[in-house]
């Protein structure tokens, strides 16, 4: 039986990569880190000087990911979710973080003041969560907290339980 595809999204700095790394180790998912894919394959339209980051060419990325997603067993990580086709995902996990911790994490990354402010606003106004709610069925969206180390363990437990339920529901379909 092929594994489901999962999207892990949230504001930069909330802990998406830590979660994805654990999912790859424990659940044998293939990690599709969108930022790495974009850099590796040059799926960039332009460079945003103000935010000091490349602007994604969504069409090229989606064309690249389509055959990979059809195989199943992927965990896709990105800070935005609205442009991914809903049909790709069996679950969407939105990682959240206390803003005081997020501020420290973003500063530690060396983000400029404008980029820190923008990302803080995204978390405060729950932009990634609202984007997911606007783009996917509510029953596949899950919110996870990522403030302390035990939150990662709680998130892994929740996802593993979801995966067990998904497997049980889909065994009969094989």
Q: What is the pLDDT along the chain (174 residues), one digit of tens a residue?
A: 789 999 999 999 999 999 999 999 999 899 999 999 999 999 999 888 877 778 889 999 999 999 999 999 999 999 999 999 999 999 999 999 999 999 999 999 999 899 999 999 999 999 999 999 999 999 999 999 999 989 999 999 999 999 999 999 998 775
Task: Name the one residue in this structure whose structure tokens are 């442009």.
Answer: 83
Domains and CATH numbers, the chain: 6-151 (3.40.50.300)
User: Own/partner pairs for 154-163, CB < 8 Å, 24+ apart?
Assistant: 155/19, 155/93, 155/95, 156/19, 156/22, 156/23, 156/26, 159/6, 159/23, 159/27, 159/91, 159/93, 160/26, 160/27, 162/91, 163/3, 163/4, 163/27
**Listing from the earlier edge strand, what are the strands of the sheet with 6-9?**
30-33, 74-78, 6-9, 91-96, 141-145
Handedness of CA 93, 44, 63, 134 (dihedral sign): positive
Residue 102, both tokens: 């997020």
Mention every residue, 6+ apart, whose C-beta is less than 8 A from residue 65.
Answer: 32, 37, 76, 88
């Amino acid at each position: 039986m092929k594994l489901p595809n999962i999207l892990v999204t949230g504001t930069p700095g909330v802990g998406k990569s830590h979660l994805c790394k654990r999912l790859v180790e424990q659940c044998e998912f293939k990690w599709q880190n969108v930022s790495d894919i974009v850099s590796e394959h040059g799926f960039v339209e332009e460079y945003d000087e103000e935010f000091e980051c490349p602007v994604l060419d969504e069409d090229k990325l989606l064309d690249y990911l389509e055959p990979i997603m059809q195989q199943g067993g992927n965990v896709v990580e990105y800070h935005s979710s609205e442009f991914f086709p809903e049909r790709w995902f069996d679950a969407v996990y939105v990682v959240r973080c206390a803003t005081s911790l997020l501020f420290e994490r973003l500063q530690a990354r060396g983000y400029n003041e404008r980029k820190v402010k923008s990302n803080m606003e995204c978390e405060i106004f729950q932009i990634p969560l609202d984007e997911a709610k606007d783009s996917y069925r509510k029953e596949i969206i899950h919110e996870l907290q990522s403030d302390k180390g035990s939150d990662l363990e709680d998130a892994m437990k929740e996802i593993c339980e979801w995966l067990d339920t998904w497997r049980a529901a889909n065994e009969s379909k094989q």
